[in-house]
Amino acid sequence: EPEVTQTPSHQVTQMGQEVILRCVPISNHLYFYWYRQILGQKVEFLVSFYNNEISEKSEIFDDQFSVERPDGSNFTLKIRSTKLEDSAMYFCASSAPGLAGYNEQFFGPGTRLTVL
């Protein structure tokens, strides 16, 4: 069964360092998303991506964040200069075109980012 994969499963970094979180969406999907969950808090939307551009971003997704689909299979989230408050579980998701509103988002297992 097709699935969304994410690497690494756990990333530890020093404050101020750049990190790249990687996702491989399901191959025929066209919509891509990043969400995050700070420990004990809600899963929060970060950004959606379609046709090689950002469709929507939340207020969390500031200039420190960027997304890219560099090679037609990977979908990456870059944090340029990590802060302590970026520590969270980051989920990638993808969905296929379908009847509007009915398309299911398939989620990856997440990358736990720890900023020290």
With CB under 8 A as the contact rule, the residue among 19, 77, 108, 113 that binds another protein is 108
Return d(Cα 116, Cα 113) in angstroms, integer: 10
With CB under 8 A as the contact rule, the residue among 28, 41, 53, 59 that binds another protein is 41
Radius of gyration of the chain (CA): 14
Return d(Cα 50, Cα 63) in angstroms, integer: 19
Each residue 14-33 as x (binds another protein by CB under 8 A) or -, in order, gives -----------------x-x
Q: What is the DSSP letter of 64?
A: T
Check binding of 61 to another protein (CB under 8 A). Answer: no
Check binding of 3 to another protein (CB under 8 A). Answer: yes
